[in-house]
Structure 1
Amino acid sequence: MVYNNNYEKKFFPKISKCFCCCCYSPDESFKYCVRIMTVVFFLLLIFAAITSNVISVIFMIVLIISHILLLKDVENLNILYMKQFIYIFFIYILELICNFGFILYYFFAYKYNNDYHNKVNNEIKLGTNKLNNFIFSKLKESELNDNYISQMVERQQIIRIIIAILVICLMIYYYLVNCSYIFDRIEDTNQAYTMKKIENGEKTEEKFNKEKEIQRMTK
């Protein structure tokens, strides 16, 4: 079966190998990267389960299954199942971008909304703010003044923003590398199918000409 992927392929840049496995061949680089990311998502699944983050648990399970199928289907040249990665991982990237939007929202809300700013500071002083408890739990009560808390919370939020940007950039790069490889494999599969079809057509035409020649000679 020939699959027309020219329309979709033009949206993805041509990237030969992932930089973390650049010393390997394109096939080996792809397989190693997918396996590494499968392990990473498995570790994230454990962390999400420990923190009771149901949405993250569901995402991680789906991504792990998607990566296992991707490795299997690339070897079997199953085009339909290879393409599932393109859609599933795109949804995951959208989820990362949405989370980044929430991080930015809370950063600016804390910085410019006095009511929210005071609420977070009071929660930290009372020890009820789960996000910042780990950072401030070891401080003495006398050290928990508003200026110090504000500096630490803003610094922590800036670090979260930087980490979120780095993660999104890495995931987009990983996504584009894999999509480029998948469409290359689809193109190779199409070319092989086309060549086989041409060869079969030539053989059929040659057989037809021989039969026609035999019929002509027997007359």
Structure 2
Amino acid sequence: MASTKTDFKRRFPKVGRCCCCCAPKVSVYVCTIILIVFYVIGIFFSGLSLNKFGTYTSSVTNILSKVELVVPICVTISLILLLIGIEKRNKVFMNQFKIVFFIYLIYSLFSFIYGIYLFNNDEYVKESIKTLKNTYKEANMPNFSELPDEFYQNSIKNSMKFYIVEVIVIYALFVYYYLSTCSYIEDIEEGANDENDIRNLENNEY
């Protein structure tokens, strides 16, 4: 008699739920919806920032700002498709998340490294200070626009420390969410595979 079991190869390790107080499916839904809200808010403020400050920033920074706006939009669409895929058991919608979010994690890592580089780039710091002063001037806030450059330089250096800690924590959470969600997706695929084996067995197809 032929084997009644179709091998299912997992590509991700079994990882715990990203929200320990919820069932696996609810956990993925809750975390994904939180991320969608997070990105939508980020997209909104990125759009406002690009519209407000685009004329003051350098061409490179302006391009990066547009990229920072487009990337979260793509990720948000991917997350929405993920939710639909889980609900409908659509493998295409679920598996696109594995690719899109992985690319996003790689992009975020390089963005983090590049951000540290910019914080230590004198030309970028000077351009940022100029942008801030112009912004405060446009907003009729002379007390801030007339502050010495040294004040802003110290503020940027101090903010870099918080930036590094913040990004490391957030990135670690994103990696765990990715692994946990991919693990759950493969649980669904494995379950569907087992159900298909049972149906084939009942239909005497083995």
In the superposition, the TM-score normalised over structure 2's length comes to: 0.75
Give the corresponding residue for 2:154. 151
Note the alpha carbon deviations across 1:107-144, whole angstroms, 9 max, x for none: 4445xxxxx5xx846974xxx1449977xx74595x73
Is 1:163 paired with 2:130? Answer: no
Give the corresponding residue for 2:25. 27
| 1-structure distance, mates of 2:184, 2:95 | 11
Which structure has the greater CA radius of gyration? 1
Give the corresponding residue for 1:16. 16
Give the corresponding residue for 2:75. 63
Give the corresponding residue for 1:199. 202
1:100/1:164 contact within 8 Å kept: yes
CA separation of 1:153/1:62 partners in 2, compared to 1, >3 Å: closer, same or farther?
closer
Note the alpha carbon deviations across 1:178-215, whole angstroms, 9 max, x for none: 111111111111111111111111xx79xxxxxxxxxx
Consecutive aligned runs of 4 or more in structure 1 exceeding 4 Å deviation: 2-5, 131-134, 137-141
2:119/2:125 contact within 8 Å kept: no
Is 1:83 paired with 2:134? Answer: no
CA separation of 1:96/1:123 partners in 2, compared to 1, >3 Å: closer, same or farther?
closer
Give the corresponding residue for 1:113. none
CA separation of 1:131/1:188 partners in 2, compared to 1, >3 Å: closer, same or farther?
farther
| 1-structure distance, mates of 2:167, 2:128 | 25
| 1-structure distance, mates of 2:36, 2:20 | 19
1:5/1:183 contact within 8 Å kept: no
Question: What amino acid maps onto 2:88 in structure 1?
Answer: N
In the superposition, the TM-score normalised over structure 1's length comes to: 0.71
| 2-structure distance, mates of 1:88, 1:122 | 33
2:118/2:125 contact within 8 Å kept: no
Question: What amino acid maps onto 1:84 in structure 2?
Answer: Q
- Percent of pairs identical after alignment? 28
